[in-house]
Chains A and B, each alone.
Chain A
Amino acid sequence: MTNAQSTPSQIKILAVDDELDFLNTLSRRLESRDFEVTTASNGEQAIKEAKIGGFDVAILDLKMPGMNGQELLQILKENHKFLEVIMLTGYASVDSAVECTKLGAFGYLEKPYDLEKLLGVLRDAYETRLKKKFPHDQKRMKELDILASGDPMAALSAMMRLDDLEK
């Protein structure tokens, strides 16, 4: 419960792990620290939640039945470019850490970990997301202003640029 004051309120987290006893307890502890947590017990469910979502950070277990954490990481990063992802694993290895980093993971932690460490990585991931997303949001606002300006040609160009931004 320490550092609760420095935790940004209502950061939206998607936590994915097939170990439900772990997932539920982690979720409970994060929620008591003002994070908004959605859980999924497998990759398919996580992809569905992410589509609905607007999540800031995802926490993924590396080894899961069916779609593993690395595959899920790849899919999430392809479809949600500002989502930061933290990988959790029972056994960390240099190879898998390098592979996950290449695929765009923000952090890589070995279980069992100190929650303070996870909270630190979560905060850093959230800040990184904001830094990446802010210029994008500013561009988007600018294009929306043009769209509302009433100039049909400018609005058409703005719509095309907005489409590109959403990709």
Chain B
Amino acid sequence: MNYQWDVLCEEGLQFFGKMSASMSHEIKNVLAVINENAGLLQDFVYMHEKGMPIDTEQLKGVSQMIIKQVRRADSIMKNMNKFAHSTDQLTKAENLNDILDIVTKLAARFASMREVSLEKIPTDEPVNIKTNPFLLENLIWLCLDFAMDSVGHGKTVRVLAQKIDNSAQITFSQLDSMPEPTEVFPDKRSEALLSALQAEIKVDSQAGTINISLPI
């Protein structure tokens, strides 16, 4: 075991834990809404038993709310499942857009807490790469985490995946208030991930961008 491996393991576990905790927290929020609405249905039944007529419009509203929350939970669980399966294989052929999609969805709650918006720019062409999906997700998260901290609340971080020549590129942009590259970023965790993925990073504080270049 070498130093880089230790860093990757430690960072990977922290990343997995952080994302799992965030998703389970969101599920708890969904359960809380469903719980309140189930309680509201009980209230309607109680009032009906006391002689009050049942208002079908109110019942419709509650059932629609429950359906909405079940869909929300289903979407969270799908992301959680995709994320968990990204550890299945060390190397896998993937569309980079799909990986970006998962990480931006996982990061949405962190963005919301910091009052930052994330915008993944859609592209028509798939960006196919062979990579370690989990390590790449981890690296994208570290970039997003740094980007969200840099821009401050009320701002939007844009993310784009594209194929340029013989490499796949991820661009994080609109990072206008990003500080000059310092020892803070890329840190030792990002460096270890970049090295393991054979990727390169370019932090341009003037342009307000971070570019990651990955082998196809």
Binding site for B on A (CB under 8 A): 1-2, 19, 21-22, 25-26, 28-29, 32, 63-66, 90-91, 111-113, 115
Contact = CB atoms under 8 A, between A and B. Distances in A.
Main secondary structure of the interface of A (DSSP, over half): loop
Given A29-B40, A66-B153, A112 B28 contact: yes
Interface residues of B, number: 27
A22 B113 contact: no
Contacts of B65: 21, 25
A21 B43 contact: no
Nearest to A33: B43
Main secondary structure of the interface of B (DSSP, over half): helix
B39 interface: yes
Nearest to A112: B35
Interface string B40-73: 1011001100000000000000000100110000
Interface in B1-58: 21, 24-26, 28-29, 31-37, 39-40, 42-43, 46-47
A87 to B, nearest CB: 14
A62 to B, nearest CB: 10
Contacts of B47: 1
Per CB-CB distance, the 8 closest pairs between chain A and chain B, nearest first, are: A112-B35, A90-B28, A111-B32, A25-B36, A1-B46, A112-B32, A90-B25, A21-B33
Given A29-B36, A65-B113, A65-B114, A90 B46 contact: no
Contacts, number: 62
Nearest to B113: A65
Nearest to A111: B32
B205 interface: no
A111 B31 contact: yes
A10 B31 CA distance: 29
A120 to B, nearest CB: 15
Interface of B: 21, 24-26, 28-29, 31-37, 39-40, 42-43, 46-47, 65, 68-69, 112-115, 153
Nearest to A110: B28
A59 B21 CA distance: 24
Nearest to B34: A112
Given A21-B69, A63-B113, A28 B29 contact: no
Contacts of A111: 28-29, 31-32, 35
B109 to A, nearest CB: 9
26 contacts: A1-B43, A1-B47, A19-B29, A19-B33, A21-B33, A21-B69, A22-B36, A25-B39, A28-B40, A29-B36, A63-B113, A64-B113, A65-B112, A65-B114, A66-B115, A90-B25, A90-B28, A91-B21, A111-B28, A111-B29, A111-B32, A111-B35, A112-B31, A112-B32, A113-B35, A115-B36
B43 A91 contact: no
Contact of B39 (A29, A63, A65): A29
Contacts of A113: 32, 35
A29 B47 CA distance: 12
Nearest to A20: B33
B112 A90 contact: no
Contacts of A66: 115, 153
A65 B37 CA distance: 24
A63 B42 CA distance: 28
Contacts of A28: 40
B34 to A, nearest CB: 8
Most-contacted residue by chain B among A22, A26, A91 (CB, 10 A): A22
